[in-house]
Structure 1
Amino acid sequence: MRYAKVVVDVPVLTTNRAFDYIVPEQLEEWIEIGSRVGVPFGGQTIQGFVVELQEASMVGSDKLKAIKEVLDLYPSLSPELVQLAGWMSKTYVCHEYTALQSMVPSALKAKYERYIRVDLDMAQQSILSPEAQQVVLAVTKAQPILVDELFKQFPDASGILKEMLRQGLLLETRAAKGRVAIKKLLTVSPACSKEELSAWINQLPAQSRKQKEVLLHFQNHSEPVLLTELVKQLNISSAAVKTLEKKGILKVEEVEVFRDPYAERTFPRTTALPLTPDQAEVLEEILQALRQVQKETFLLHGVTGSGKTEVYLQAIEFCLSQGREAIVLVPEISLTPQMVERFKSRFGDEVAVLHSRLSAGERYDEWRKIMMKNARVVIGARSAVFAPLTRIGLIIIDEEHESSYKQEESPKYHARDVAEMRAQYHQAAVILGSATPSLESYYAAHK
């Protein structure tokens, strides 16, 4: 039997620790450090993060509850980020769950739904009014039922419902519901050979003109196409496609797609620019640290327009050539389309962008892109410091003196300090760029 230590979504002082849970045998393959799980706590199911796995528990197994469910197919956080959350909890005096939660996109943050269920034993022993019997019947049928749904069914029985809750006949529980919104679209492709398509075209009656057009398209283009694009391109209805699918001629499949906030834009590729002697000297020092794979922090002091960004770009290029990854932090106000364009033009689809102006779905998909190793360069505002990269070689903090790198609400972290901790773990280089460095960075550079 295995056990998991879980930090639960009850961010109060008395719960700022990990609680032991039994890992059910059927979930052993799915639960890892960093997994989001649903666990029983205080009579309800809430979300938590697995922060440790162990073969034994100091608490007797007869006193422990089992994890109910795993909320994601893959862990939301790496062991490094789980460790970082523990450090943040101690350093910034915040609840560890709050630190863990700050590292995942809003689409993964728990949304709770309220349910009502019946205490069946109590109901059988009680003398119920006709109205109460109807309520018990409706709730038992669903067992449990959403609170909102129950009130819709009995809009004039709020007094009865309140009394039944007070007596304990009805019990209210909360259940965590992941707000993950993976975008999926339908694709269409041929389910038979070109020869069979030709035969079907000849067999179809004259009135099936639209179906013939679809088959003619796939005679010339055998690759899958989005259903929406096919309908628009051929000026047909989806009914023609559905009919051909039922006949076994076409396949209609659901595929995941990324919401790309920059899909409508093109970024002409750029190459490295010639450097000035000063730029070349600075870059060489940074590359030396990258070659030696050692943690080192550099203060790049230069006025606006002095060429700091080109140094960043060439340092990242070298970092990627080593098979490692890079994070670029930029103040939200400076994260302009022009700034994004410079990085996208140099590194193309390997760039993921994380900032508050993206929709929740777009941010989630950019985060998934990083998780799936489809992006090795992350550019974003303060919270991008938590990007789920696992082979970080370089972290750049542009305009490092900006106060926006300090978060005002809990966890009240400073992105520069968090970046230093991540760099220490990965033995990565850190570049602090500024025209007016902060006093502490300037002092540290001259020590």
Structure 2
Amino acid sequence: MRVVVPFGPRKLQGFIIGIKDSVDVESKKLKTIHEILDVTPVLNDELLKLGYWLTSETLCYMISAFQVMLPTAIKATYKKRLQLCKQEEIAPEILYLFQDKEAIDFEVIEQQPHLYRTIQQEIKNGTVEVVYQVKDKVQKKKQRVVQPELPEDKLELAAFELKSKKQQDVLYYFVENYKSAPLKVITEELQITDAPIKALVKKGFISEKYVEVYRNPYDDDDFEQTKPFPLTEEQKQVITPILSSITNETYNPFLLYGVTGSGKTEVYLQSIAAVLKKGKEAIVLVPEIALTPQMVDRFKGRFGSQVAVLHSALSVGEKYDEWRKILRKEVKVVVGARSAVFAPFENLGIIIIDEEHESSYKQEDNPRYHARDVAVWRGQYHKCPIVLGSATPTLESFARAKKGVYELLTMEKRMNEQALPTVEIVDMREELRDGNRSMFSKALHEKIADRLEKKEQMVLFLN
């Protein structure tokens, strides 16, 4: 649970990580918590234990370990303010700055440098004091909602007796749709301003209030729902041990070594479906560069509104709302980049890391963790399988699979049964010996000419 605590002259954000009945400290040395920021804890017991492990593993500060698990939106911002204490004793030129307010932003003082000395003296005298407000970076999004206050029959009678055509339209709208509705929806559908709404609120026929809504980066209705595809023999072979681990609720790390186009994603999707049937949750990590709309389509199309997505293209507010859906148990699947491994699920059934060889799973800043190591820790905690998928696994993962630390699952055939593209390595020294001083080899030049003749496109990578 996050709290605001006094720290010298400032107020800072801290975390309550435990409660004691007594301490070996003099009571006069203890300070009172200034403010409790959360109604319920933002870090569950598992994430607190994970924070201790991360602190020990990466030698980071404990506060850093906890903060990396939270969205940017609730990492505190600090605002410096000047608080009025003794109005009757303060210098008139300073009192004027307050203009009947109890506190002002310190920015106002910074714009009046000639008053600095006076302010310093007033602080010494105790007539004003500097305070630090701690706030979240993003506010919750609110929406104006209108709802009927009379029964349907009385609402229709009231509409009949009204003289205003626009007010009648509003009441008839609720007769036909007897439930609350966003103000924006009503005004757009009836092509009116909010004036008739306000008039009807005053008459007591309807009421309005602000309700919290999520910033939804994806409209779930836009995703075409898909059904599971029949599995190939290879897919059946690799998914069997994964499903067995899910059923038996045992920790098992798997290295899914499958060539590009072998159908690894369908194995992921059907494994997640098995997890959801057991009422459990799933985390899917995807490299930021691979988290494309097509990838999101695959998961949203299969699991719909049960999926939350976390990646850098979302605004701070959108990430915050996706994270809150997870915290409130409103979704069962998280698809995201590295930091999604800290999703606050409490009943994990599987963790999948796609393209596990990607270096982006390593955090360069403090705390310097590897998402794979965090996933393994959480898999052991929840007794659930970990699936590391790649067409080109890292050497350490492949070595662990060979030693039996990971169970190796192999997929060698492509879904469309097409052969993998051939790769030709050209020694440019031989080209020079043959008199070719161009930056293009003879073979590459011929291939480019061939594609251009066929009106096709090509991509050339330069290092």
- Normalised to the residue count of structure 1, the TM-score between the two structures is 0.85
CA distance in 2, matches of 1:64, 1:113: 25
| Alpha-carbon spacing, 1:162–1:62, altered in 2? closer, same or farther (3 Å) | closer
- Give the CA deviation at 1:276: 1.4
The question of whether the paired residues in 2 share the 8 Å contact of 1:267 and 1:341 is answered with yes
- Give the CA deviation at 1:136: 5.5
Q: Which residue of 2 aligns with 1:38?
A: 4
SS of 2:16's partner is: strand
Question: Please, which of 381, 390, 393 is the counterpart of residue 337 of structure 2?
Answer: 381
The question of whether the paired residues in 1 share the 8 Å contact of 2:362 and 2:370 is answered with yes
Larger mean CA deviation between 179-188 and 410-419 belongs to 179-188
The question of whether the paired residues in 1 share the 8 Å contact of 2:220 and 2:305 is answered with no
- Superimposed CA distance per residue, residues 340-386 of structure 1 (whole angstroms, 9 cap, x where no aligned partner): 10001111100000001001111111011111111110000000001
Larger mean CA deviation between 346-355 and 220-229 belongs to 220-229
CA distance in 2, matches of 1:60, 1:390: 38
Question: Please, which of 164, 169, 182 is the counterpart of residue 213 of structure 1?
Answer: 169
Q: Which residue of 1 aligns with 2:151?
A: 193
The question of whether the paired residues in 2 share the 8 Å contact of 1:290 and 1:393 is answered with yes
The question of whether the paired residues in 1 share the 8 Å contact of 2:10 and 2:131 is answered with yes
Q: Which residue of 2 aligns with 1:65?
A: 31
Which AA in structure 2 matches 1:317?
Answer: A
- Give the CA deviation at 1:144: 4.3
| Alpha-carbon spacing, 1:227–1:169, altered in 2? closer, same or farther (3 Å) | closer
Larger mean CA deviation between 154-163 and 334-343 belongs to 154-163
- Superimposed CA distance per residue, residues 148-174 of structure 1 (whole angstroms, 9 cap, x where no aligned partner): 23446x575345435656898754332
Which AA in structure 2 matches 1:370?
Answer: I
The question of whether the paired residues in 2 share the 8 Å contact of 1:117 and 1:139 is answered with no
Aligned ranges for residues 120-139 of structure 1 at < 5 Å? 132-135=91-94
- Normalised to the residue count of structure 2, the TM-score between the two structures is 0.82
The question of whether the paired residues in 2 share the 8 Å contact of 1:396 and 1:431 is answered with yes
Q: Which residue of 1 aligns with 2:460?
A: none
- Find out whether 1:368 has 2:327 as its counterpart: no
CA distance in 2, matches of 1:390, 1:45: 32
Which AA in structure 2 matches 1:172?
Answer: V
- Give the CA deviation at 1:71: 0.7
| Alpha-carbon spacing, 1:113–1:199, altered in 2? closer, same or farther (3 Å) | same
- Give the CA deviation at 1:180: 3.6
Question: Please, which of 59, 64, 67 is the counterpart of residue 101 of structure 1?
Answer: 67
- Give the CA deviation at 1:311: 0.6
SS of 1:53's partner is: coil
The question of whether the paired residues in 2 share the 8 Å contact of 1:370 and 1:389 is answered with yes
Q: Which residue of 1 aligns with 2:389?
A: 433
> Percent identity at matched positions?
45
How many aligned positions are there? 403
Q: Which residue of 1 aligns with 2:429?
A: none
The question of whether the paired residues in 1 share the 8 Å contact of 2:3 and 2:37 is answered with yes
- Give the CA deviation at 1:326: 0.4
Larger mean CA deviation between 57-66 and 436-445 belongs to 57-66
Greater Rg, structure 1 or structure 2? Answer: 2
Which AA in structure 1 matches 2:147?
Answer: S
Aligned ranges for residues 69-88 of structure 1 at < 5 Å? 69-88=35-54
Q: Which residue of 1 aligns with 2:268?
A: 312
- Give the CA deviation at 1:63: 2.1
Question: Please, which of 133, 141, 145 is the counterpart of residue 104 of structure 2?
Answer: 145
Question: Please, which of 176, 180, 203 is the counterpart of residue 161 of structure 2?
Answer: 203
SS of 1:54's partner is: coil
Q: Which residue of 2 aligns with 1:278?
A: 234
CA distance in 2, matches of 1:50, 1:260: 31
- Give the CA deviation at 1:393: 1.0
Aligned ranges for residues 285-434 of structure 1 at < 5 Å? 285-434=241-390
Q: Which residue of 2 aligns with 1:177?
A: 135
| Alpha-carbon spacing, 1:218–1:170, altered in 2? closer, same or farther (3 Å) | closer
| Alpha-carbon spacing, 1:209–1:156, altered in 2? closer, same or farther (3 Å) | farther
CA distance in 2, matches of 1:275, 1:198: 57
Root mean square deviation of aligned Cα: 2.3
CA distance in 2, matches of 1:42, 1:159: 22
| Alpha-carbon spacing, 1:90–1:275, altered in 2? closer, same or farther (3 Å) | same
Question: Please, which of 66, 76, 81 is the counterpart of residue 110 of structure 1?
Answer: 76
Which AA in structure 1 matches 2:8?
Answer: G
